[in-house]
């Protein structure tokens, strides 16, 4: 199996192209600064993952910015600090400030010349519009949780993506799902028979950070520690 065997790269955005862990950690500082005990970065990220995943399960049709506001409220309760509704709403709108990884823009610019580029993300459309500007590439299709009415790892999101890509002339066998999260992306990709590429952004850190532990490690077809490594591998392939 080679990277150039595929016609489309379908991306998770947050954690893969956008550095959501840095974004959420920085945006939560007004809340975490109120906590009397010491919270490590991964303490914050892992608590966020628990509440986000639970809320997505309970309210799958809730807009992501609104869902993040609820997550902020749950975190405040867990940590025993006060958070006003306005503060929680501010956190819900923080996606627009989450930075791209340093290699994302250049990598996407290169890959656009060789693949169809598609987003499958647990986000709302307005929030993604800000991230899309940061990534500086025109995606060929964008499928959000708001479009589908559910959040990954729900099979509905992958069914929606595969069906719509077939309408664009892209078969399942031509899709390489490219993502960091084993929980949100690679496990359901396995269930759908999709080839996948693990961008292991947390390769030098312990644990799963802002994503849930997937339990059993899913299979994947390729693994790179960055988008830059993926591009380098593709360049080696086409050079022969």
Catalytic residues: 12
With contact defined as beta carbons under 8 Å apart, do 25 and 41 qualify? yes
Residue 216 DSSP SS3: coil
How many whole angstroms separate alpha carbon 78 and alpha carbon 93? 21
Helical residues (DSSP H) of the chain, grouped into ranges: 20-27, 29-32, 41-58, 64-79, 85-92, 104-112, 125-135, 145-148, 155-167, 187-191, 227-239
Q: Which of 188, 237, 172 is nearest to 12 (CA)?
A: 188
With contact defined as beta carbons under 8 Å apart, do 190 and 219 qualify? yes
């Amino acid at each position: 199996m080679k990277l150039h065997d595929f016609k489309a790269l379908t991306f998770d955005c947050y954690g893969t192209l956008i550095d959501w862990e840095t974004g959420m950690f920085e945006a939560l500082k007004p809340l975490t600064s109120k906590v009397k005990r010491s919270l490590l970065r991964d303490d914050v990220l892992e608590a966020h993952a628990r509440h986000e995943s639970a809320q997505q399960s309970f309210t799958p049709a809730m807009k992501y910015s609104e869902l993040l506001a609820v997550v902020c409220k749950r975190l405040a309760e867990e940590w025993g600090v006060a958070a006003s509704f306005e503060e929680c709403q501010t956190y819900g709108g923080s996606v627009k400030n989450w930075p791209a990884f340093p290699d994302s823009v250049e990598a996407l610019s290169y890959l656009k010349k060789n693949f169809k580029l598609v987003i499958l993300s647990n986000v709302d459309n307005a929030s993604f519009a800000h991230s899309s500007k940061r990534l500086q590439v025109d995606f060929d299709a964008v499928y959000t949780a708001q479009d589908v009415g559910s959040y990954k790892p729900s099979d509905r999101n992958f069914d929606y993506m595969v069906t719509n890509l077939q309408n664009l002339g892209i078969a399942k066998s031509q899709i390489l799902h490219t993502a960091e999260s084993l929980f949100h992306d690679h496990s359901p990709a396995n269930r759908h028979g999709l080839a996948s590429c693990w961008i292991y952004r947390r390769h030098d850190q312990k644990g799963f950070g802002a994503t849930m532990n997937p339990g059993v490690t899913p299979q994947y077809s390729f693994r790179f520690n960055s988008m830059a490594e993926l591009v380098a591998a593709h360049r080696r392939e086409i050079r022969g």
